[in-house]
Amino acid sequence: MSHAMKRPLQILHAAGGIPQWQGDYFNEGAGRDGVFDKLKEECGVFGVFGHPEAASLTYYGLHALQHRGQESAGICTSDGKKFAYHRGMGLVKEVFDNDHLRSLAGTIAIGHVRYSTSGESKLANAQPLVFKYREGDLAIATNGNLVNAGKIRETLERQGSIFQTTSDTEVVAHLIARSQHNDIVEAVKEALRQVQGAFAFLVLTRNKLIAALDRHGLRPFSLGKLGDAYILASETCAFDTVGGTYVRDLSPGELLVIDENGLREDRFAEMEKRAICSMEYIYFARPDSDIDAINIHSARKRMGRLLAMESFVDADVVTGVPDSSTSAAIGFAEQTGIPYELGLIKNRYTGRTFIEPSQELREQGVKMKLSAVRKVVEGKRVVMIDDSIVRGTTSLRIVNLLREAGANEVHVRICSPPFLNPCFYGIDTPTRKELIASSKSVEEIRQAINADSLYFLSKQGLLDAIGRAHGEWNRGLCTACFDNDYPVPVGEEHASAGCGCD
């Protein structure tokens, strides 16, 4: 039996090693996103090396990434000798207070905000996951999903590994712990070479911070600086929040090691064809973020402009479904000369739903999150811009909301192609049979959502708007949800499923 096998991995569940709460926090269906059928956020990671207020910086960085996950949050710090960590269910501001942050001493930190899809929504799966193994303390946080995690997990369990979470991230931790390499960097490389999928990893030891991006660069991941300190984040908007500056994006297959000797650039795998998730540009990322030097707000405005060029309709007012479609609506309005107005207002204080309402109340629930401005849309021909149509139920409710407010016509324009296929790389999507575009024509969808007209941006229009040369290894996009062209092959266990982010 190997040395690694003799020293099993031990996961530490919460501050002090005592679980705060193991129960589910959200009610499926009613919880998370309430009645909306929009795509769910992924996860967000943030790391700091070499700053005296690492925990506070990470707290603010996670605030900036809150849109990527609202179910749990966590921070782990190191002072060079020992770890301090705290995780909890809920928003960043709900999980941490001043006492928590003061207890997180150290100049190195990693943090995580989570939306679960492949793992259950409970504290045991909240990240960063913190472990004890033969080489000392280890903490891991990741954004993404491993398509072969299930098979690896089965193999490890047959060989004696005991898992204490349902998270893909723990699979990587076990692979690291079982490595014959005593050097943590080499052990991480070995582990990452065995996994497939989309991931942006942060690995923390007592004196090192390791960052790695998957071979295709499916997830966004950027390096920044704040004075002499290094910072890493899922989106560049987090750098602006903490006063840092953007340095560059990580490249596919790259591994960075930051320690007392500075930053070392390395690789765990050769770069494969770049295929960053197109939905980051369409929906997920904040408008003030840049991905691969492309500003999200500008890309979405171009989507709106090209959508207008492809599908002009004579109307009186243009409005966007807040917030991800606002930029595209502005672009559509500028291109057509039709005035842009705030025809839909988002209620930012609805919070999350903890009760299971009746079906009747659920049908009315969209009004809790969105309100139509009657004086803007009444008696008008309205162009409603949205980023995507998933099941179609939300689109129907919003169209009806505008009609109830007096809109004479509602023309729906979607700034992405029809969503035909589930994602397996870290976006929570329904199964293929639940995606309305997979079984209905555009005309049938138009009828289903009660719109006067409906048009989806063409795939070429999307590629032109984002500004990446599709097909080139260093500037490509993953468009599998639109064209079934998956850059990383998925196993049979994913054939009809959605996906997961851990």
Amino acid at 427: I
Asked if 238 and 61 touch (Cβ cutoff 8 Å), the reply is yes
- Smallest CA-to-CA distance from 481 within 413, 430, 446, 443 is with 430
The residues, ordered by sequence, that sit 6+ positions from 269 with a Cβ below 8 Å of its Cβ are: 192, 193, 215, 253
Alpha carbon distance 192, 214 (integer Å) = 8
CA 406 to mean position of chain CA atoms: 36
What is the dihedral angle through the alpha carbons of 55, 60, 64, 66, rounded to the nearest 10 degrees? Answer: 60
Q: Which ranges in 83-165 belong to alpha helices (H)?
A: 92-95, 98-103, 149-158
Q: What strand order describes the sheet that includes 43-49?
A: 83-89, 72-78, 108-114, 43-49, 229-233, 222-226, 245-249
State both tokens at 440: 């209905």
Provide the annotated active-site residues.
Answer: 43
DSSP string of 204-261, one letter each residue: E-SS-EEEEE-TT--S--EEEEETTEEEEESSTHHHHHHT-EEEEEPPTTEEEEEETT
Amino acid at 276: I
Alpha carbon distance 233, 289 (integer Å) = 11
**What's the full length of the chain, in residues?**
502
State both tokens at 421: 């296929």
